[in-house]
Amino acid sequence: MPWDGILGFLAGRAIPGVEMVQDGSYMRTASFRLADNQVCSGWLTVSHQEGRPWLALALSRSLAPALPQVRDGIRRLFDLDLDPAGPARTLEAMNACRPGLFVPGIRLPGCFTPFETATRAVLGQQVTVKAASTLAGRLVTLLGRPLAGTPEGLTHAFPEPLDLLALGESAQNQLGRLGIISARAQCILSIARGLHHGELSLTPQANPILEMDKLRAIRGIGGWTAQYIAMRTMGYADAFLDTDAGVKQALPGMSARELRRLSEAWRPWRSYAVMCLWNSL
């Protein structure tokens, strides 16, 4: 996806206090627990110059000890390990549905940290994108690590799974006061528990089919959410959200079954096809 496209996608889903897009750059906070259990926190900026085949990364000095983790997070978030020729060879056929539907250079917006993106996905169930961002911002204010010396608008690091689990029996009530309904609070806590105890692995190295099965076993997580989380956190290239409102809007008049049949020609790059469909709206 061209830089402006992926930047627009992230801007529309930015978590207040944690992320923002400003002057054509992506800015965010970051916090890492190092090998010695020390916490390293700060902020970073990612920018792109038109015509240049790379991204420029600037970060606060406080994040220097976590430079490898920062680099890996940015590579995941902007899908930098992709060879765009791979999806292009298959997805150019999308133009048979509608001229210009395939986006040359398409990339899959990933995640900086899996728990953050998975939480944001659960909060986005059956509410608007803006409402989900508002709920995520409230969660950050309650449990996120406050940061000093950051650019205006960046105030906290996103909570770790343990921060939610530390709430104990009061977790559901405290999240409820933020406007997070009980079912979604339980989903988020289950994901936090799974990640903290190593029972759930939302990384590119894990098997996405197995991890999606684990996600669907959590009450309140269905096929759409499981596939979306796998697509964003694991870089799963072949997710297809056949029940998604945007996908249906991009290809009107088709049932979910017809969409699935059509998408078979787009394997193994159907996640990228979904991004093309969303981009067409």
pLDDT tens column, 230-260:
999 999 999 999 999 999 999 999 999 999 9
For residues 143-163, give the mean pLDDT. 98
Window from 8-12, 51-55, 77-81, 192-196 with minimum mean pLDDT: 51-55
Nearest by Cα to 234 from 266, 193, 206: 206
Q: Where are the domains of the chain?
A: 75-151+159-279
In what helix (H) or strand (E) does residue 154 lie, and over which residues does it extend? Answer: none
Question: Please, where are the H alpha helices in 104-255?
Answer: 114-123, 129-143, 161-165, 171-177, 182-196, 208-216, 223-233, 245-250
pTM for this prediction = 0.96
Q: How many angstroms separate the CA atoms of 60 and 165, rounded?
A: 29
- pLDDT for 1 equals 60
Q: Which of 79, 238, 242, 244 is catalytic?
A: 244
Annotated active-site residue 213? The verdict is: no
Q: List, in sequence order, every beta strand (DSSP E) within the chain.
A: 19-22, 25-33, 39-47, 56-59, 145-146, 156-157
Nearest by Cα to 177 from 166, 167, 190: 167
For residues 121-133, give the mean pLDDT. 96
Three-state SS at 15:
coil
- pLDDT for 37 equals 87
Fold of the domain built from segment(s) 75-151+159-279: Endonuclease III; domain 1 (1.10.340)
Q: Which 8-state DSSP code applies to residue 170? A: G
